[in-house]
Amino acid sequence: MDNPRIKTVRPQSASFLKVEWQDGTSSTINLTSWIDKGGLPLSALKLDHVWQTAKVEDFGLTVTWAGADLAIDAWHLFQHAREEQSFNAENGS
C-alpha cells in the first residue's frame, strides 16, 4: 500500500486499534510501545476515557484523540501493522 488511508478506526482495549483501510483490508494494531516511547505527551492515551475517543481525521490520513495534540498518521499506523504481521508470521501466530 503506497499511501495508506484509514476508512474507520475502533479503539479496542488497552492500546489496541482496529483499523479498516480504504483498500478494504483491516488490521488490529497494538500501540503500547509507541505510547510508552512517547513519554509524557502520549501518556494520556493510557487512560481508557481518552483512548476510546479515537477518530479518523484529515480524509483518512490521521487518527486523533481528544486532548492536546494526540495523533498518529496513517503511514505510521500502517508500519506498525506490517511489523506485527511480520512478527506473527515468523512466530507462527
Domains in the chain: boundaries: 6-90
Q: Given this model, what pLDDT does residue 90 score?
A: 58
Q: Given this model, what pLDDT does residue 53 score?
A: 96
What's the CA gap between 9 and 46, in Å, rounded?
17
Mean pLDDT of 5-24: 96
What's the CA gap between 85 and 66, in Å, rounded?
28
Distances (CA, A) of 41 to 22, 35, 74, 90: 29, 9, 19, 33
Residue bearing the bigger pLDDT, 3 or 89: 3
- Could you read off the pLDDT of 34-69 as tens digits, one per residue? 999 999 999 999 999 999 999 999 999 999 999 778
pTM: 0.86
CB 48 within 8 A of CB 38: no
Q: Is the pLDDT of residue 11 over 70?
A: yes
Q: Given this model, what pLDDT does residue 93 score?
A: 56
Task: Give the architecture-level CATH label for domain 6-90.
Answer: 2-Layer Sandwich (3.30)
